[in-house]
C-alpha cells in the first residue's frame, strides 16, 4: 500500500523534487568542504614556503618596501613576492608555481614540487629586482654626467722654484718701494736742474 503511494508521489513529481533538493544540498555541502580543505591545504603549503624564505627576509635591509611576502586569502591563496610576482599552487595542489602578472597576461617563471627549489628561484628573482632598481636609480642620479665631464685644464708648470706666499709679498713690496725711490730721484734731479738754470738766467 505504501509502495503504491510512493509510486503515485513519484509520478506527480513531489518526491522527485524533494529528493533532488536534498541531494543538491548534500552535494553543495561536500563541495564546500572540499573547497575549504583545498584552500587550507594550499595555504599550509604556502606557509611552508614562507618558512623557507625566512633567511631571505632576514637579509633584506630594514624598511625595504619593494617586496611584500604576504599570503593572501580567497579561493586561491597566494604568497606575494612584490606587486607583480607571486607563488600559487598548481592544479595538482602539490606543485609550487612562481608567476608574474603582466599587462599581457600571467607568465609562469618556474614550477617545482620542492619548496626549497622554488625558494631559491624566488631569491634569484629578488636579487634581480634589486639590481634593476639600483640601475634605475643610477640612471637618474646624474652621477654619470658629473663623472664624464671634461677635466679642468692643468696649470702650466714653471721651471722657477716655488716661493712661499710671504716671500713673494715681500719681494713685490721691495720692487714698489724701489720704483717710487727712482721716481723721486728723477723728480728731485729735475727740480735741481730747473733751479740751477733759473739762477743762471737771473745772474746773466
For 157-198, how does the pLDDT look when each residue is reduced to its tens digit (9 = 90+)? 555 555 555 666 777 888 888 888 889 888 988 888 888 787
Residue with cell 654619470: 144
Q: How far is CA 169 from CA 73, 157, 164, 172, in A?
A: 82, 21, 9, 5
The tens digit of pLDDT for each residue in 150-160 reads 666 655 555 55
**By the 8 A CB rule, do 53 and 9 touch?**
no
What CA–CA distance (Å, rounded) separates 119 from 201?
Answer: 119
Q: Does some domain include residue 152?
A: no
Note the pLDDT of residue 37. 80
Q: Does some domain include residue 184?
A: no
Q: Compute how many other C-beta atoms are within 10 angstroms of the C-beta atom of residue 118.
A: 23
The answer to whether residue 70 scores a pLDDT higher than 80 is yes
Q: Does some domain include residue 56?
A: yes
φ, ψ (nearest 5 deg) of residue 82: -145, -155
Q: Does some domain include residue 172?
A: no
- 83: containing domain: 48-145
Q: Does some domain include residue 107?
A: yes
Q: Does some domain include residue 30?
A: no
Q: How confident is the model at residue 45 (pLDDT cuts 50, 70, 90)?
A: very high
Number of domains in the chain: 1
**By the 8 A CB rule, do 124 and 53 touch?**
no
Amino acid at each position: 500500500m505504501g509502495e503504491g503511494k510512493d509510486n503515485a508521489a513519484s509520478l506527480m513529481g513531489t518526491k522527485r523534487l524533494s529528493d533532488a533538493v536534498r541531494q543538491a544540498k548534500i552535494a553543495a555541502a561536500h563541495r564546500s568542504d572540499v573547497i575549504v580543505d583545498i584552500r587550507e591545504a594550499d595555504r599550509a603549503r604556502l606557509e611552508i614556503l614562507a618558512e623557507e624564505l625566512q633567511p631571505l627576509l632576514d637579509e633584506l635591509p630594514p624598511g625595504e618596501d619593494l617586496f611584500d611576502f604576504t599570503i593572501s586569502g580567497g579561493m586561491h591563496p597566494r604568497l606575494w613576492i612584490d606587486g607583480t610576482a607571486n607563488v600559487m599552487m598548481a592544479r595538482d595542489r602539490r606543485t609550487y608555481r612562481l608567476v608574474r602578472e603582466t599587462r599581457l597576461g600571467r607568465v609562469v617563471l618556474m614550477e617545482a614540487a620542492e619548496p626549497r627549489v622554488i625558494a631559491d628561484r624566488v631569491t634569484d628573482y629578488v636579487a634581480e629586482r634589486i639590481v634593476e632598481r639600483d640601475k634605475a636609480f643610477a640612471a637618474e642620479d646624474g652621477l654619470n654626467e658629473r663623472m664624464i665631464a671634461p677635466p679642468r685644464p692643468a696649470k702650466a708648470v714653471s721651471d722657477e722654484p716655488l716661493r712661499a706666499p710671504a716671500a713673494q709679498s715681500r719681494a713685490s713690496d721691495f720692487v714698489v718701494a724701489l720704483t717710487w725711490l727712482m721716481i723721486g730721484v728723477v723728480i728731485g734731479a729735475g727740480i735741481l736742474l730747473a733751479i740751477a738754470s733759473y739762477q743762471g738766467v737771473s745772474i746773466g
